[in-house]
Structure 1
Amino acid sequence: MKTFVPFSQLRQQPTIVVDSTGLGAALTLAHWRGAATPEALRDDTSAGSVLRALRAPATGGLDAPAVTANHFDVDGFVGVWSLLHPELALRHEHLLRLTATLGDFRELDWYDPLADHALKLVCWLNAEEKARFYEPFGAPARRRREDEASAEKFEWFLPRFQEILENPEVGRAAWEPEVKRVQQAVAHMQSTVTTTRAYPEIGLLVVCTPVPLPYYALFGSSGGFDMVLSLYDENWYEFEYKYTTWIDLESRSTLPRLPLSGLAACLNGQEQSPHQWTFDGVTDTGPLLRLDGKRLTKVQRYADPDQRPIYSSSIEPETLEQEVVAFFRERYARIQPRRYWTWAEIRAAGEATNS
């Protein structure tokens, strides 16, 4: 039997670290870039690495009595819970993999028989987290450290998750509002009002839809792409590097993130509105390029696109799409996709393309 311990207690006993890194871990099971996850256990999600480990019981360090993580999110929680309930986790492996992927990458195959079940689990976790604790990335605003404050979330969710996993109706009051909101947005994405254009050579998906939507709908069918350009009515636009390029993705090769400064400068040279194109750095979990993006807090940037302010651009959508595609085609022309980029290699690639 294993127990969950706060991250601060990592070195007090042999401990498995999930979806995090820490010195002194008996075993690391994380998809973070450069994490010491054993090669045979690498997976797109940290929960996936945990599930691989459970199918390889001879894995060194897997017998450690304690489990920890330095933050709370869906992927990390599913991984921690699975280590504490190995038989149940393997019984529900496919569902847990869908849940972790939706939580971290916001991707989901809506035609999978378990898609609705996974959505309910994620929405339950999200709703209860916000209602009982604080929203993701909200700890600093409360003058708390995430690695300390998140332990309270684990302690509340861990004994309650099995019941929801096996009978999601128990948590309907919590998950239903967000599930309905996402399902309505998915119907919107699958209707004739939405069109998409794919540029697989640069990993870009362009989504044209009237209004901003929840991420689970907007990114749900974006599997295999690492950048999304959203073109809305009223000349509202957002570009985002997905979280798939922040971590070490196992299932496929990726291109490295590039600095968005050059693209922002190009767009600002054309922008006639009172707003400026701003961007986040390559090490942000999900760098955004948008008008007046620097006014957003981290909580707002992580929140759904329909929950943050957005401004009209003077640039027409066809022109914007052409500029974005041309920017990345030129800079990615001499870069080959591969797995396991280091941050140093990503920065070097960005410097080379800007020279």
Structure 2
Amino acid sequence: MHRTFLPFTQVKHHKAIVVDSLHPNGLVLSHWRGAPVPDGLAGDTSADIVFNALHAPKLNLDYEFVTANHFDIDGFVGVWALLNPELALAYEAILRQAALIGDFRELNLANTGAGHALQLVCWINAKEKELFYRPFGADETAENEVIASVPKFDFFLREFEKILLQPETEQAVWDPEYNQVMRDYARIHSSATTVEKYPEIGLVCVQTPEPVHYYALFSVTSGYDIVLAQYQNNRYELEYKYTTWVDIHSRPTLPRLSLAPLVIELNNAETTGLTWTTENITDTGPILRLAGTTLNKAERYANPTERPIYASSLSAPVFKNKILAYFRTAYKNIQPEKNWSWEKVKMLNQQMFRPR
């Protein structure tokens, strides 16, 4: 049937398929924690769930409207697929890869369709910044994300098909970021970079000379949820990936734990005069970093190459050992699970870090 995009502000008045969001007035196809996804449709990205729904013969998809409460690549792919199901299914592998790269930043050029998907993602990124506001930048506009994202959907839903079918027509747009990603990807997969994995705590340590694009940095982190990036001259960032903000279906995960005690320990050892900071566990991607300046969410979401990363007084081995010791102790009696609720995660943190 023919479907139409519905601004999220109208979903209370019209039943709709709700993509990458939550609302009770319709069918929810979202990987957000606690989303009431129908049995048998679960996936890692919201786009995965949408494609699973398109393949489900007994599922009622007889809805006139499709909606989402924000614009990002995963949600957009899901919305576009529901509005263009036949073409979406023909390009399913590429579109699933685009959603994965856009949401989890896990580029794997060995995956079917990944190169084409990267071109699409880079085109969306470039046009989004050129014509609208950057991701998590709605605070820089006069409207909130629910309202401000509607013109983005209008534009990309109109223009995406021709780029999907003929990406070379917009190569001048996607090429700059694409080339940066390819250069950084080559560096991350070269002898210039050391990758150490600690599966018992879900952590990957990436030691590379200079900051790189996220799609390159996270290309070696599939199956892991914490990334410690160590650059030359004692520059470090520690990040919980978005994979621990949503319900991923392919594997169990460890819950997010507060980094506040770790921040205190690091600040007690730091002698530069700068301060280690981090965000709350409910942030989409908490970053533990040495803060010479305060970053807003849009700046934190941007690539490591786009923000200052300051030198610590702690050597790389000392810093890494502190990080490993913290998580090994914190996760010692916790087992990975699927479908952690925020209530359970918060209660666990309260029990672990209550004042004694």
Give the TM-score, by structure 1 length: 0.97
Instruction: Verify the 8 A CA contact 1:32 1:246 in the aligned structure 2.
Output: yes
Describe the superposition over 1:158-198 as per-residue Cα deviations: whole angstroms up to 9, x where unpaired. 12111111211011111000001111111111111110100
Mapping of residues 290-305 of structure 1, within 5 Å: 290-292=289-291, 295-305=294-304
Paired letter, 2:285: G
Hey, what's the Cα distance between the residues in 2 that align with 1:281 and 1:294? 18
Hey, what's the Cα distance between the residues in 1 that align with 2:59 and 2:220? 34
Mapping of residues 122-133 of structure 1, within 5 Å: 122-133=121-132
Secondary structure of the structure 2 residue equivalent to 1:41: coil
Query: Offset of 1:5 from its aligned partner?
Result: 1.1
Paired letter, 1:181: Q
Hey, what's the Cα distance between the residues in 1 that align with 2:17 and 2:280? 31
Match for residue 41 of structure 1? 41
Match for residue 19 of structure 1? 20
Query: Offset of 1:245 from its aligned partner?
Result: 0.1
Match for residue 3 of structure 1? 4
Instruction: Verify the 8 A CA contact 1:278 1:293 in the aligned structure 2.
Output: no
Match for residue 328 of structure 1? 327
Query: Offset of 1:58 from its aligned partner?
Result: 2.6
Query: Offset of 1:56 from its aligned partner?
Result: 1.1
Match for residue 30 of structure 2? 30
Query: Offset of 1:293 from its aligned partner?
Result: 7.3
Match for residue 183 of structure 2? 184
Match for residue 59 of structure 1? 59
Query: Offset of 1:110 from its aligned partner?
Result: 1.7
**1:272 counterpart = 2:255:** no
Describe the superposition over 1:229-264 as per-residue Cα deviations: whole angstroms up to 9, x where unpaired. 000001110000000000001110000000000111
Hey, what's the Cα distance between the residues in 2 that align with 1:23 and 1:224? 31
Return closer, same or farther for 1:165/1:152 CA change in 2, 3 Å cut-off. same
Query: Offset of 1:115 from its aligned partner?
Result: 1.7
Hey, what's the Cα distance between the residues in 2 that align with 1:39 and 1:112? 27
Match for residue 90 of structure 1? 89
Tell which deviates more after alignment, 184-193 or 246-255. Answer: 184-193
Hey, what's the Cα distance between the residues in 1 that align with 2:220 and 2:327? 22
Query: Offset of 1:12 from its aligned partner?
Result: 2.6
Hey, what's the Cα distance between the residues in 1 that align with 2:112 and 2:55? 24
Tell which deviates more after alignment, 81-90 or 35-44. Answer: 35-44
Q: Which runs of 5+ in 2 are unaligned?
A: none
Secondary structure of the structure 1 residue equivalent to 2:233: helix
**1:135 counterpart = 2:134:** yes
Secondary structure of the structure 2 residue equivalent to 1:160: helix
Q: CA RMSD in A?
A: 1.1
**1:198 counterpart = 2:197:** yes
Hey, what's the Cα distance between the residues in 2 that align with 1:300 and 1:341? 28
Paired letter, 1:246: W
Return closer, same or farther for 1:202/1:294 CA change in 2, 3 Å cut-off. farther
Match for residue 214 of structure 1? 213
Describe the superposition over 1:250-306 as per-residue Cα deviations: whole angstroms up to 9, x where unpaired. 110000000000111111111011101111000000000011177111111000001
Hey, what's the Cα distance between the residues in 2 that align with 1:118 and 1:215? 15
Instruction: Verify the 8 A CA contact 1:259 1:350 in the aligned structure 2.
Output: yes
Paired letter, 1:2: R
Instruction: Verify the 8 A CA contact 1:279 1:293 in the aligned structure 2.
Output: no
Instruction: Verify the 8 A CA contact 1:17 1:28 in the aligned structure 2.
Output: yes
Query: Offset of 1:352 from its aligned partner?
Result: 2.4
Moved over 4 A (4+): none
Mapping of residues 332-347 of structure 1, within 5 Å: 332-347=331-346
Secondary structure of the structure 2 residue equivalent to 1:40: coil
Query: Offset of 1:57 from its aligned partner?
Result: 3.9
Describe the superposition over 1:141-162 as per-residue Cα deviations: whole angstroms up to 9, x where unpaired. 1121101110100111112111
Match for residue 105 of structure 2? 106
Give the TM-score, by structure 2 length: 0.97
Question: Sequence identity, in percent?
Answer: 50
Paired letter, 2:322: E
Hey, what's the Cα distance between the residues in 2 that align with 1:238 and 1:5? 39
Query: Offset of 1:13 from its aligned partner?
Result: 2.2
Paired letter, 1:320: F
Tell which deviates more after alignment, 108-117 or 147-156. Answer: 108-117
Hey, what's the Cα distance between the residues in 2 that align with 1:13 and 1:143? 26
Query: Offset of 1:342 from its aligned partner?
Result: 0.5
Q: Which runs of 5+ in 1 are unaligned?
A: none
Q: How many residues of Structure 1 are paired with residues of Structure 2 in the alignment?
A: 353
Query: Offset of 1:4 from its aligned partner?
Result: 0.3
